[in-house]
Amino acid sequence: MRMLAKALIVLVAIEHLGFLVLEMFFWDKPLGIETFHNSAAAAQSSVVLAGNQGLYNGFLAAGLLWSLWQGRRDTKIFFLGCVIVAGVYGAATAMASILFVQALPALLALLAVLASQDADR
């Protein structure tokens, strides 16, 4: 279970690094416009906000990777909880699919962390 928890945390971190790239560098490009179901005009008018959002996703990824390096269970739980809250909020305010793309993988990772009997508490 411990290896599964670590693998899922890495997966969630990689996912958030992908969000960083999409939101910071491709938001107003065809890939970003298609991914986020935006119009070119809406993407252009919100590009600065999306960049900020991408930076926050990068901080979440960094926190998740740091939690693995640090080896502390409470840090893993904290950052996974942050991702879950962000995913639920995003699903409620932006796109329902965010619940499945962002919150669900983090929830699965959190459950694996809670189920594992890590010595790194």
First to last CA, the chain: 15
Tokens 């594992």 -> residue: 116
The helix (run of H) or strand (run of E) holding residue 2 is helix 2-25
Q: What is the pLDDT of residue 118?
A: 55
Cβ count within 10 A of residue 22 = 19
- pLDDT tens digit sequence for 1-47: 899 999 999 999 999 999 999 999 999 999 999 999 999 999 999 99
pLDDT band for position 78 (cuts 50, 70, 90):
very high
Listed in order, strand segments (DSSP E) in 1-121 are: none
% pLDDT > 70, the chain: 97
